[in-house]
């Protein structure tokens, strides 16, 4: 037995150096290539934001003069950009608050309380994952019309909340089920009410999962173009992706201004992403229970 293990280890050692180098090297190459492919459009977008339209066409990949901020000044002062940005913040923020509050509460109930039909409710939420919401656009449009919230940000918030709940409930239920039951029992012995247990004990512990669910939802909602296009006509209520299209004229487009608008609209989401990634702290629960 022990000689067999020794031989196996020696064999692995010999194979080790070349094999590991080859495999890791290949992985590195793939990852670097992937990074370049992913970053290139963003870099080009940022570069183009500092160029005038003729410069963009003359040297699309050239490094611009970063002191030339005319496009940003123009978008800030001469367009409705600030309004769109604010609208996007309102819609995305409200949707996220609703998604995370409702999703966490639903997931807590499904994951923690044993009641008949809990599995059915989970399945019901999961069914939402398979539903292509865009196919329902005509009934949705009629629904919003009948609720008289067409041309109103509420319509977007409702649709986004419905869109975000399935993934949130799915992620959070799985996570909440992994948390030790004894923590809750301990809090109950300490005299905490159910709401208190959720707020003071469970919520801090599920934060990593909330971050994952949040990122999962915030990006598509922020970038969504389709639903505002259908539901919102009033220029003062438009969100960023929809608003930016107004910069594209039928005959001429000021590409420099458009790119600077895109850069500005992508910036908050990239920032949120970077800040929140630090929250993926593994082992938040380590130490609670051995």
Question: What track of x and - describes contact with other proteins for positions 197 through 216 (by CB under 8 A)?
Answer: ---xx--xx-----------
Residue 31, Cβ density class (10 Å: 0-12 exposed, 13-18 middle, ≥19 buried): exposed
* Spatial contact of 207 and 284, defined as CB atoms under 8 Å apart: yes
* Spatial contact of 98 and 157, defined as CB atoms under 8 Å apart: yes
Q: State the maximum Cα–Cα separation within the chain, in Å, rounded to a whole number.
A: 79
Minimum CB–partner distance for residue 287 and other proteins (Å): 3
Task: Rank residues 70 and 180 by Cβ distance to other proteins and give the closer one.
Answer: 180
Minimum CB–partner distance for residue 241 and other proteins (Å): 38
Task: Report if residue 154 touches other proteins, rule: CB under 8 A.
Answer: no
Task: Rank residues 17 and 114 by Cβ distance to other proteins and give the closer one.
Answer: 114
Pick the stretch among 37-45, 59-67, 208-216, 280-288 that binds other proteins (CB under 8 A).
280-288
Query: How far, in Å, CA of 246 to CA of 243, rounded?
Result: 6
* Spatial contact of 201 and 187, defined as CB atoms under 8 Å apart: yes
Minimum CB–partner distance for residue 212 and other proteins (Å): 18
CB atoms within 10 A of CB 215: 16
Q: Which of 26, 97, 275, 289 binds other proteins (CB under 8 A)?
A: 289
Task: Rank residues 182 and 236 by Cβ distance to other proteins and give the closer one.
Answer: 182
- Using CA of residue 149, residue 101, residue 127, residue 160, what is the dihedral sign? positive
Task: Report if residue 278 touches other proteins, rule: CB under 8 A.
Answer: no
Query: Can you point out the beta strands (E) in 100-206?
Result: none
Minimum CB–partner distance for residue 266 and other proteins (Å): 33
Binding to other proteins in span 168-197, by CB under 8 A? 180, 182-183, 185-192, 196
* Spatial contact of 166 and 103, defined as CB atoms under 8 Å apart: no
Q: Name the residues that contact other proteins, by CB under 8 A.
A: 180, 182-183, 185-192, 196, 200-201, 204-205, 283-290
């Amino acid at each position: 037995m022990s000689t067999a293990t020794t031989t196996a280890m020696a064999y692995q050692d010999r194979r080790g150096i070349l094999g590991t180098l080859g495999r890791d090297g290949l992985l590195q190459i793939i990852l670097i290539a992937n990074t370049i492919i992913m970053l290139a459009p963003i870099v080009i977008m940022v570069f183009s934001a500092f160029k005038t339209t003729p410069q963009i066409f003359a040297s699309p990949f050239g490094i611009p003069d970063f002191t030339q901020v005319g496009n940003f000044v123009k978008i800030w002062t001469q367009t409705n950009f600030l309004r769109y940005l604010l609208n996007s913040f309102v819609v995305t923020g409200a949707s996220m608050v609703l998604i995370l509050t409702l999703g966490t509460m639903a997931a807590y109930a499904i994951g923690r309380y044993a009641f008949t039909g809990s599995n059915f409710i989970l399945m019901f939420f999961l069914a939402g994952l398979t539903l292509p919401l865009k196919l329902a656009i005509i009934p949705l449009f009629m629904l919003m019309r009948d609720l008289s919230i067409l041309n109103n940000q509420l319509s977007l918030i409702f649709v986004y909340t419905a869109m975000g709940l399935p993934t949130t409930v799915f992620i959070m239920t799985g996570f909440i089920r992994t948390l030790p039951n004894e923590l809750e029992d301990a809090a109950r012995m300490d005299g905490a009410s159910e709401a208190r247990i959720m707020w003071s004990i469970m919520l801090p512990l599920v934060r990593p999962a909330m971050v994952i669910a949040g990122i999962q939802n915030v990006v598509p909602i922020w970038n969504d173009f389709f639903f505002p296009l259908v539901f919102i006509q009033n220029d003062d209520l438009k969100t960023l992706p929809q608003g930016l299209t107004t910069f594209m004229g039928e005959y001429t487009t000021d590409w420099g201004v458009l790119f600077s608008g895109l850069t500005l609209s992508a910036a908050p989401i990239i920032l949120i992403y970077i800040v929140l990634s630090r929250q993926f702290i593994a082992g938040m629960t380590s130490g609670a229970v051995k």
